[in-house]
Every structure is written in structure tokens, then in C-alpha cells.
Structure 1
Amino acid sequence: MKFKSAIKPYHAAAGGLGSLEATTRFVIDSKNALKNMRNLLRMNKARGFDCPGCAWGDDNKSTFSFCENGAKAVTWEATRRQVDADFFARHTVSALNQQSDYFLEYQGRLTEPLSYNPTTDRYEPISWDAVWALIAQHIQAMDHPDQMELYTSGRASNEAAYVYQLFGRMVGTNNFPDCSNMCHEASGAGLKRSIGVGKGTVHLKDFDQADAIFVFGQNPGTNHPRMLHSLRHAADRGASIVTFNTLRERGLERFADPQKPLEVITPKAGTISSSYYQPNLGGDMAAVRGMAKALLETQRQRQADGQPGIFDETFITRYTQGIEAWFAQIDATSWATLVEQSGLTEQQLREAAGIWQRAERVICTWAMGITQHKHSLDTVREVTNLQLLGGHLGKPGAGLCPVRGHSNVQGNRTVGIDEKPPAVLLDSLARHFNFEPPRRPGHHTVDAINAMLRDEVKVLIALGGNLAAAAPDTPRTCDALRRCGLTVYISTKLNRSHLMPGKASLILPTLGRTEEDIQASGRQFITVEDSFSMVHASEGIGKPLATTQRSETAIIANIA
């Protein structure tokens, strides 16, 4: 007997009518359609809230400034479904562990603080006052401050993250494992070693001026769809979009803008990538070095012929060092090695180098296809070196652009979520708050998991996120979470980590990005930082689902 597959090949362009249909389904399925339609109109707008999805910048030009992913995040947050004591009266933790992650999140918003009862295998209601007392009891019972781990999701606001790091350091630890340890850590470390700061060097408007945009290891159509608008606009005005991606991602091939009616109702779509190269997994560094080798050969040939070189010699002399040592490494790397490691032909690498050479302004962007390898830091530095050759830093339409995933993972690091904090941060905290913060490095995510497995963690507080699902070795991570003395999860929705309780466990329901936060001083707003180092105000507009939900900042402040 033959069964019809539920998954059909997708031949259309990314975006377009399919994106609009999916967005409509999300809105209707939330059981709160009118509220979510209003939410979407205020997302990524002044006097509105920042998208809880990705960290792509806001252009402030479009009528609708959201994508399918953003619509999904907002509508699933602003749902009427609730996970409360009645829900857990019907479901044990063991039974829920048999369900999918989709099922868990689909059940709705967490609306009241809950404490795990190992006898009944259920979460049961607990008052906020009892929550503060229980957490304080466990923290005060620690033998030393490093028995506490403070995990952070990239969706936490700057304000919550700042209070969080201050609380941890006043207790006496730099144990701040966070989601950045598992995604763009190599970008920050590589850029810091190369140019002194671990952030990108471009603004969103630079995409309107670039002559060539090189895209390494990214799938914008899935992970940050609003980037496709910027790439499409650049391609339409004649910029070369050069993609290095092991897979052929539809969004990097063709994109139909959902905001253009003609492209929604017809097969019309715009081409994104003018050149598309498919390197080996982890072959991007060899590909970039191959481009540099081709460019260096051209540079030397032109100099031998008495012609001007193709490198920005003034920029190199004024702003760089060590170029001869890098050239020696390039000379020592044979074309045969570059072809074997990159998975591309010498001709393809020379073609890509030619596009870079002819462009006056070049942007290089990348995401986790670059940063998830053992040699990721070196790859980031290789891309940086390529850009330095042409002086493609510090001028309009050119630069380096690591594209972050979570909406505020960069902002978290800016305000102090760092297990290896810089001395200038610690010195400032010491002066302003009149205490001596710890100076020794703390735990990153892998260190924290290993400490849990050694039964050394008495308190784990997770400010958002889903560590059980986010860490690469899921069974090992789940075992680690169960070994903690107390696990505290500050969350909007149910997820896999909640089902791995420590010896004691709390789930604390927090407000979402879309919801208003009213404190004694009045209406509050928070801030987030995007991939372009721009800080945006974000103010929720919807009424919270329950009076027992608290803002992240309020929860951390009360724990402290």
C-alpha cells in the first residue's frame, strides 16, 4: 500500500502568498485574532514593541514591519490558552515528557507561579511570597557563590539582564551561561581579536549602498526573514549578492515581497543571489582564503606590470598590522588544499574573488553556519582579514555583519551577561554600587552543565530560554538539570526544561514582549539591541492574561 506524503515539494519563491496564508493561520489559531491583528500593526514601530523573534534591524519605512516568524512569535504569545494549576491537575510531568515540544508550547501561556511536587509528579500553585522565600533559602544555604548558575536567553530585555548580572555579582559569581555561548560566541571573540570590538560594523542603511553583499552560512528565510527585504532591495538596484551555503535555501534564491500586491497574486518574484556557491560543511574558511589567494595573485601581477594594486594600501598601512604574516600563510596554502577543503573549484573561488575585487563597497554577513565549527573563530577572522584588504570597514555601504538570532542576545552581552567580564565593566560596577565584584572567570554553558553533572550546582535560575532543548547533547543536559538542588524557570510558555525538575523546581510566569507592564511608577518600557548595535525602546500594549504574571525585571528584583 502506498501512502501519500504530507510534505510536498515547494517550488514557489519564499514569501509571497504562502507567507501571508501562514501568518493568517497563526493569527486565527491564537484564539485572539483581533488583539493579534492590532499587535502586528504595532510591532517594530515607535510607541510599539520590538519583535521577540530575530535581531534584524527596523527600517521604519514599511507599512507592515514583521515577517511570518515574527507573526508566529507574537500570536503564540498573545493567546488565550493557559497553563495553570488546572492544567497540571490533568497532566503529570512524566506524561508531558512523552509529548512533543510543539505540543508543550501550544498549550498556552503560563499564568501562575508553580512548584514541583515529586510525590504527585505535578506542578502545584505557590504564592509569590513563598517563591521569594524558597529561592532565598536555597541561595543562603550554598557553600559558596559559584554553586549558583544564572542562565540567560537572548530574548531577555537589557533592563532585566542588567539587574540579573548585578544580582549575580553581588552574590559573588560570574557564572553566566547563556545562549550566546552556543551560537555567536565565535563572532564576538573573533571580531574582538581582529578589530577590538565583538560587534558588527554596519548599519541597516549600508545595505542600500553596498555594491556586493557576501552571505556566509545563513538561512534568512527561516531564521531572520526580514533580512530578505534588504537583500531584495539591494539586488533590485544592481548589487551582487554572493551566497556561500551548503544547502540551496529558497529564500536566498527567489523572494516574493508580501508587501507588494503584484508579487502576492502572481508568480512574479525577485532573484536574490546572483552567485550561489555550495561549499563543504565547514569549508567557508578555505573558500575565503581561496578568494584572498586569488586576490593576492592579482595584486602582485598588477604591481609587477606597473599598474595600481587592488588593495587599499592607505587603509592597510594606517589601520592594520601583521599583513605579511597572513600573506605568508596564504602562500603556504596550496590551491589543491583550498579546493579539497572548501569543496569548490579554483574557478569558482576566482569568480567570487573577482566580484569582491570589482565592488567599491562590500558587506560580509554570516550566521551560525560559520560559528558552529571548531575553527569558527579563525573563520570569522579570515572574513575580517578579507574585508581589511579593501578597506571595507568604516565607510558607507561596507563592513562586517554577524546576524544574531535571538532578539536581544547582543544586548545581553552589552549590559554584562558575560562569564569573562571585562575589567572596565567590573570597575564601573564597583564604583557605582560600592562593592567588589568577583574577578575570576565564571562558567559558560558547557562548564555549567558539567558542574551540574558533578552535583555542584545548588541553584539554577533560567531567565527565559529552554536549556534542555538548546544545548547540543540533550540527554546529558536533561540529566544535568535533574541533579540541581533548585531549578527556577522564568518563562512565558511551557517547554522541555520545565519537565526536568531539580530536587526542587519553580516555574515563574513572566510577561511577554507584547504586554503592558504597569508598576508603582506607572507604565514601563524595556530596551533591546539589534544586530546593528541600535537600541530600541519596546513597550507592550496588551493586557496581561492574568494578574499573577510578573515582568522579568520585577521577578529578578524580588529574588535579589
Structure 2
Amino acid sequence: MRKIPVYIHPAAGWPALIASTRTLMDYKAFLRGSISVLHSNQPKDGFDCPGCAWPDHKSHKTIDVCENGIKVIASETMNRRADAAFFAKNTLTALRGWSGYELEHSGRLSEPLYYDADQDRYLPISWQVAYEVIAEQLKQLDSPDEALFYTSGRVTNEPAFMFQLFVRCFGTNNLPDCSNMCHEPTSVMLGKQLGIGKATVILEDFEQAKLILLFGQNPATNHPRMLEMLAHAHKQGCRIISINPMREQGLSKFRNPQKPSHMAAGQSDEMVDEVIQIQIGGDAALLTGIAKWLTKNGKINNDFIEQHTSGYDELDAWLRQQSWTDVELGCGISKAEIITLAKLVADSPATICTWGMGITQHVQGEDNVAMITNLLLLMGMIGIDGAGASPVRGHSNVQGDRTMGIHERPKQSLLDSLERVFKQPMPQEDGLDVVTGAKALIKGDIKAFISMGGNYAVAAPDKSAIQTALTSTQLNVFVATKLNETMLYPGKNNLILPCIGRTERLITVKGEQFATIEDSMCQVVPTRGRLEPISNTLKSEAQIVADMATHVLGADSSIPWQAMSADFDVVRDYIAQAIEGFENFNQRIRAAERGFHLYHSARHRVWNTESGKAQFEVPKYPITYVATQMRQTTSNYQNNSVNNHTLDIRQPAEQKVWQLTSVRSHDQFNTMIFGFKDRYRQTDRRDVLFMHPDEMSRLGWQKGDQVMVSRQDSQNARRTLGPLILTEMDIAANAVATYYPECNDLLDLDSHAPDSKTPAYKSVTVLLEHLEQGSIATAV
């Protein structure tokens, strides 16, 4: 076995502080950014860091921010501006040749802009004229359903509530958001099984847990503040198991920058006891094996099952039908290893299952969530201290936006409530999500695209097709703080409306305002920026929504849009009337230093499901789904029938078919690229393909070789990516990984979970072609 180069230092510590400082300097945001860091996640007078949705610590801390958060703060607090002078120097044609990193560092948007086709550049426009263009174009649509209104999880509760209200008063439920691309299987399945699609745990449960199972997560990169809680739980005697195809070095040890003993004396805390490297897409199979052993050996909580659940007999019968051969084939782990893990589950009096997008972004993502929930229900681990379901969201308010009504498939109770409060009819038909919206856009059925933050075209599959489709619309509107790739493909009328960032003060005619967010564990907290806005022409997202609504719906609208944008207490009073759980919103958000926790019915063992009980669910896909897909691709390969493309068949076919997953680097946040250094994976470039060195040896390949990646999509079209540079990584056999979003054109809009429509970013079957020296041009 070849030795794998690994990052030998603990996570965080001095390297994190040095990297954070360098990022602040790189963005020329050292002063503004450092001031903001001190106010990040602070009670009362601080702002909630937009870097992730991990809850704030209950005890007061002078500094409560991580490396990832500092980089996101640096991005927002940079002094450089992408203003009229910037666009005078750069046409859109030229900007399309810029990398995501270069666009990210171009500066803060500082004035409203419109695209002039004759000059091929953005030019300044007044706010008033911009609103008139929006109103004129939206009113010309044959139907409100010809408009698509996208929302990023960066948007806080108050403008999110206003935005969904405006869109529904306009007449459509076309409200896709970033949850469609990440945790939608979580929302769908937890809602179906427990009656509410959110975490059942609170932060204090991690202090009492005896076993934590981490599924498909890389906290050291994506939400480093979680590391402190994991280290603390481990020190309390909790056993922590990471279940992931990749061995993430940032999960080994943690050096806490808050502890002088760690920083001065070089101490560190242990975190993960064991890493179980399953096959990509093998989570449901592994969980099936665990559940099969537990049920057969009577290691389940029969009292809880009998009193609180429905569907056990169906699940038990299904488990009995699954052979151990299929379980092992499905997850790539031996029966003995699975039983060892099952015994840990059986012996634990308090178990938390926590997961990220490594669970949800699969065709079988809903099955993965269902099996995690089934496991917790089998053991009675819902509604007791130190146990439960803990999905970890990436965006800081993606969960809050959903609670506020940003949803293309709203519950009838929400629509009824909005009609009762605002005396306005609400559209009843389900709207378009990210996938169906993108398809409609490509087809030409969408004539107007309005985005509250985000980088829609790059974040979604079929990037190139979406970008092309955007150039055929009548109207594109981007409410944003920074320039991104989606804005470079203008329709007939294209507008950029710059908004105030999370770190900046929000002052209206009614005085200084604060907003709120909801974190991954249902805690609603205030957020108040402290910096002066980068430009005096910026408007708040709430003001932009109010102005659009006033122009589009008419000044005589009975809804006081301008009053809401001027005084967030007015918005919160409406939220208190319309959204369940927010009664006395203004009083409650001010009463406690760190906000309040929303009532979670399942946490109290109240099951708002169809059966009135917690629901076991049988998976829809066979547990050998991934293995079957690989066998089918191998068969096509052997028959040389991949869209009539003749591949190099000098190597045996079984060595050429792989399962590919996408990952984020340590120097990015979603589609925002801060730099090129992936410290824990020890690479400083993004055009890489991660593979286990033993697999390279088996193929006769070497680190640094060039490889083309291809796949046959659902329409039998061949998609390619590369050439990519082979890079060594401790990853499961038959598995490779590359960076998101660069890999998104490999994905198609038909490869997604069936109910949630979440694209399969984390698991696609691909072919690899090793390139001979000098063959790159031909391969491309």
C-alpha cells in the first residue's frame, strides 16, 4: 500500500489564523474586516456570520468566529468597488474570461447598473428608472408564472418574508432557493417521517451525547465552529464516528484558537475516533446493515416503536429481504465492520446523527435521510436529551428563508394564513424549483429572472445551458453585494441592484434596524451590522423588495410595503400573525440575549404526520443502486457504445468506471472562491482529480498525470470535464472527487432525487481516460 501524504497538523490553530489574516489582506479588508470579526456572532449588538448556519455558543465569547467565517467577512468588507469605473474598463465579453476567483475579488457592487448591449458593458442607472424597467417588463408577461424568483440563504428573515409576499401577490409560487440544491431531501423526509423538516436537537444535546455519527460532512472546511463542540463532546466521553468516502484530515485533531494552552503550548483536542470509508452513495446500504442487525438481534426500543411510530412491520419485512451480500456490495464495507458499528449504536443511551450534503445530494438522497431517521426511531433517539437528528445547513439563513415562506411548494396553511392577514388572494398551484425552473428557462418558458443573491447559473447543473438561456429573457434582475458569473449573461433588460451587506449598518427614516436569522437548530437570533455601508447609494434588501412591490403592484396596494422596509418591527408584527411559532416576535427577540428557540413538535414527541405518529420509511432505490449504475456503465463501455465514442480500451473496463463526488475546497464558500489553497488536502489548484494512490498504482498512473472525465447523461449525451491533474487522496476504492462548481457541466438536470429534485452533485458514474503526452488538444 502506497503511503498517502497527509496534513499532519491539527485543524484550526495558527495556520487558520495566518490564512484568515492573509485573506483579509488579500481583499484589502484588514481594518473593516477585523472590526467585523470582533462583532461576529455577538449577542445584542453583533451580526450573525453569513459563513454557515451553525448555532452561536450560549456563553459569551470575545471572539466567536472561524476561519471560514473570517473569509466570508473579508469578502463582504473589502474596500475595492466594482463600480462604474470598473465596468468602463471591462466589457462583459472580457469578464466572461475571468475566473470565479477574479470576479469574486473585483470589488463590492456600489451603484445600480444596467447592461448596454451596444457598449457590451454595465452602465449606471438611477434606482427609479431601474424600478420602472422592472415594473414595465413584469406587467408585460402573459402570466406571472413566466417569472422565476430565486433566493439565496444569505437573505435575512424580514426581507425574505417580504419577498415571498411580493411574489405571491404578483401571482406565482415560482420561488426556488438554494435549499433546492442542498438539503431539500432533509426537509422532505424529516417532514414526512417526523412532521417537521428541521433538526430535532439543540446545541446542548452535543454535550450529553454518547455517540455521534457524522455522515457526509467536512466541518473543518465548511463549518469549523462545529469542531469546538465535537472536541468538547469527545472530551466528555462521547464516541464520534465519521462516515465518509474521503478521510478528511481536518477531523483528526482540533487546536482551538480560543484556548491559550492550545496556541501557546501546542496542545490539541481529539475529535473523531474512527473513519468509516464507505463507497460513494453507500450510506443507505450501510444504515440498512446496521438496522438489519439491530432488528434481528432485538437491540431496538420496542416501547418507543409501539407507542410513537407507524410502519415498523413494513420496514422490518424489507430489512429481512436485504442480503448481507447486497449490503456489503452497496456500501463497500464488510459485514463484520457493520456489526461492530451496530453494536456501538445498540450500546449508546444517547445518539446524534448529523449530516451534510454528502447525504442529500444523491439520486437516492431521500433514502439516505429516511434510513438515518429510521435508525433514530428504531432506537428511540428522538425527543430525549443528547440525541436526535442534526442536519447541518450551509447558508446562514437558508432554514429561516423556508420558515418565512420561500418555498415553491407552500403548505396550504401558509397560503391560508397569508390570505387571512393581508386580505389578498394567494396562488394555489405549486411553483418551479431550481431544477424545473432551470428546465423552463432553457426551454424558453421563463421570460423574467429575479435573484435575491446567489449565483444560480453556476450553482446549478447544466451551467452552460442556463447561461445561454439567460441571454434570451426579457428581464434579469440581480440583487447582490458582489459580481458573479450569472450576471455576465444578460437578457434584453439586465439590472444589478446593489444591497447592504450583513456586516453593514441598516439605517432608515425610522432609525437603525436589526434583522433576524434562524440557524440549523431552530434558534432565531438578531443580527445587526456595525460598519458604514461601502457606498451611500446602497439600499437594504427589504427596501429593494418594497420598492419593486410598490412599482409592480401599484402604490394603492393595501400592504404597507414602505412602512415595513422602514421599520422592521412592522415586518415582524406581520410575521407574528402569519407564521406559526413567531407569536409576539418583537417582544421575544428582544427579551433574550441570544433570541429564542422555535417550538419543535418532534422534539416533544408530537408527530404532525398523516398517521399522527413518527413514520418508518422503506427506501425507494435498491441498496445496490450505485453498484448497478457502475455495472451498467461498464457494460456500455465494453460494448463501446457510449454515444458512439470510441474510448481507449487498452485497460480493462472495470478499472475505468468510477463513482465521482464533488467537494468544496478549504478556500471557498459555495461558489465563492477565496483562493486556491486547500490546506487539509494539500493542493493549491482547482483543476484536480482526487484518487487513492493504490488505485493509481493499479492503473499504472502517477500523481500529476492528466485525465479526462466523461459520463453519459440521461439523454445519452456525452459530457466531459478536463483535463484534470491526478492528485493523491485517502478516498474509497472505485471513487474519485473533484471540485464544485467546476464539475457542474458533468451533471444534467435529470439526475436528481425524485421528490426533492436535489441534483446528484455527490454521486455520478463516470469514465476516466488517461491522456498520453501531447494528446490534450485532441481529447478536449
Task: Place the TM-score, normalised by the shorter chain, in its bin.
Answer: over 0.9
Distance 1:29 1:144 in 2: 46
Name the residue aligned to 1:492. Answer: 481
Deviation string 1:287-340 (CA, Å, 9 cap, x unpaired) is 1111111112221xxxxxxxxxx3222211111011111011110001110000
1:5-41 deviation line (CA, Å, top 9, x unaligned)? xxx9632121111101111112333334233222111
1:168 aligns with 2:157: no
Matched with 1:251 is 250
Aligned equivalent of 1:522: 511
Q: Which AA in structure 1 matches 2:127?
A: W
Moved more, 261-270 or 533-542: 261-270
- State the one-letter code of the partner of 2:488: L
1:214-363 equivalences in 2 (<5 Å): 214-299=213-298, 310-363=299-352
- SS of residue matched to 1:400: strand
Once residues 260 and 334 of structure 2 are traced to their aligned partners in structure 1, the CA distance between those partners, rounded to angstroms, is 41
Given that 1:453 and 1:483 are in contact with CA atoms closer than 8 Å, whether structure 2 keeps it comes out as no
CA distance in 1, matches of 2:472, 2:235: 55
Q: Give the letter aligned to residue 65 of structure 2.
A: F
**Structure 1 equivalent of residue 521 of structure 2:** 532
Out of 33, 38, 43, the position equivalent to 2:40 is: 43
Amino acid at match of 1:19: A
Distance in 2 (alpha carbons) for counterparts of 1:17 and 1:74: 19
Letter in 2 for 1:20: L
The one of 57, 60, 66 aligned to 1:59:
57
Any conservation in 1 of the 2:6–2:249 contact (CA below 8 Å)? no
Structure 2 length normalisation: TM-score?
A: 0.69
Greater relative contact order (CA < 8 Å, ≥ 6 in sequence) = 1
Counterpart Cα distance in 2 of 1:469 and 1:31 = 26
Structure 1 segment 75-224 matched on structure 2, within 5 A: 75-224=74-223
Who is 2:545 aligned against? 556
- Determine the structure 2 residue equivalent to 1:303: none
SS of 1:523's partner is strand
Indicate the residue corresponding to 1:462 in structure 2: 451
**Which one is further off, 184-193 or 55-64?**
55-64
Distance 2:169 2:468 in 1: 29
Report matched runs for 1:356-395 at 5 Å.
356-395=345-384
Check the 8 A contact 2:32/2:78 in 1, yes or no.
no
Residue identity matched to 2:428: R
Indicate how the Cα distance of structure 1 residues 200 and 459 shifts in structure 2: closer, same or farther if over 3 A, else same: same
TM-score by length of 1: 0.95
Is the contact made by 1:450 and 1:480 (CA closer than 8 Å) also made in structure 2? no
Q: Secondary structure at the match of 1:204?
A: coil
Letter in 2 for 1:556: V
> How far did residue 269 of structure 1 move?
2.4
Q: CA deviation at 1:222?
A: 1.1
Counterpart contact for 1:288–1:386, Cα < 8 Å = yes
Residue 10, structure 1, aligned to residue 11, structure 2:
no
| Distance in 2, Cα, partners of 1:503 & 1:266 | 61
CA distance in 2, matches of 1:483, 1:12: 51
State how far apart, in whole Å, the 2-side matches of 1:419 and 1:33 are. Answer: 40
Contact 2:353/2:390 (8 A) holds in 1: yes
Consecutive aligned runs of 4 or more in structure 1 exceeding 3 Å deviation: 265-268
User: 2:689 is matched with which residue?
Assistant: none
Distance apart, 1:256 and its partner CA? 1.5
Q: Which residue in the other structure is 1:430 paired with? A: 419
Residue 30 of structure 1 is matched in structure 2 by: 27
In structure 1, C-alpha distance between the alignment counterparts of 2:164 and 2:400, rounded to whole Å: 13
The reply to whether residue 501 of structure 1 matches residue 513 of structure 2 is no
Q: Tell me which amino acid in the other structure corresponds to 1:165.
A: Q
The answer on whether the counterparts of 2:419 and 2:426 sit within 8 Å (CA) in structure 1 is yes
Q: 2:440 aligns with which of 446, 451, 455?
A: 451
1:305 paired residue number: none
- In 1, the alpha carbon distance for the partners of 2:362 and 2:73 equals 32
Q: Helix, strand or coil: the match of 2:468?
A: helix
**Secondary structure at the residue paired with 1:506?**
strand
Please tell me whether the aligned partners of residues 45 and 60 of structure 1 are also in contact (alpha carbons under 8 angstroms): no
Partner Cα separation in structure 1 for residue 132 and residue 445 of structure 2: 22
Distance 2:8 2:242 in 1: 20
SS in 1 for 2:363: coil
Structure 2 counterpart SS, 1:511:
coil
CA drift of 1:480 comes to: 2.1
CA distance in 2, matches of 1:250, 1:501: 42
SS in 2 for 1:142: coil
> Residue 123 of structure 1 aligns to a residue in which SS?
strand
Structure 1 contact 339–346 (Cα < 8 Å) conserved = yes
CA contact (8 A) 1:17 1:265 kept: no
**Counterpart secondary structure, 1:518:** strand
Which whole-Å CA distance do the structure 2 matches of 1:379 and 1:80 have between them?
A: 44
SS of 1:528's equivalent in the other structure is strand
Q: CA deviation at 1:266?
A: 5.0
Instruction: Tell me how far apart the structure 2 counterparts of residues 265 and 9 of structure 1 sit (CA, whole Å).
Output: 24
1:237 to partner: Cα distance: 1.3
Conserved 8 A contact 1:254-1:271? yes
> What is the DSSP-based 3-state SS (H/G/I as helix, E as strand, rest coil) of the residue aligned with 2:86?
helix
Q: Which residue of 2 aligns with 1:19?
A: 16
With over 3 angstroms needed to count, the CA separation of the structure-2 counterparts of 1:9 and 1:94, relative to structure 1, is: farther
Report how far residue 400 of structure 1 moved: 0.2
How much does 1:267 deviate? 4.7
Distance 2:492 2:279 in 1: 45
Root mean square deviation, CA, Å: 1.2
SS state of the match for residue 310, structure 2?
Answer: coil
Alignment partners' CA distance in 1, 2:225 and 2:462: 31
Structure 1 residues 9 and 314: alpha-carbon distance in aligned structure 2, compared to 1, 3 A threshold: closer
Which has the larger displacement, 128-137 or 480-489? 480-489
| Aligned residue identity for 1:438 | P
Instruction: Spell out, residue by residue over 1:155-192, the C-alpha distance to the aligned partner (whole angstroms, 9 max, x if none).
Output: 11111111111001101100011111110000000101
Identity within the alignment, %: 44
Which residue of structure 2 lines up, in the alignment, with residue 307 of structure 1? none
- Cα distance in 2 for partners of 1:482, 1:12 equals 48
How many residues get paired?
543
> What amino acid does structure 1 have at the position aligned with 2:245?
T
| Alpha-carbon distance in 2 for matches of 1:17, 1:265 | 10
Q: Which residue of 2 aligns with 1:421?
A: 410
Query: Which structure is higher in helix share?
Result: 1
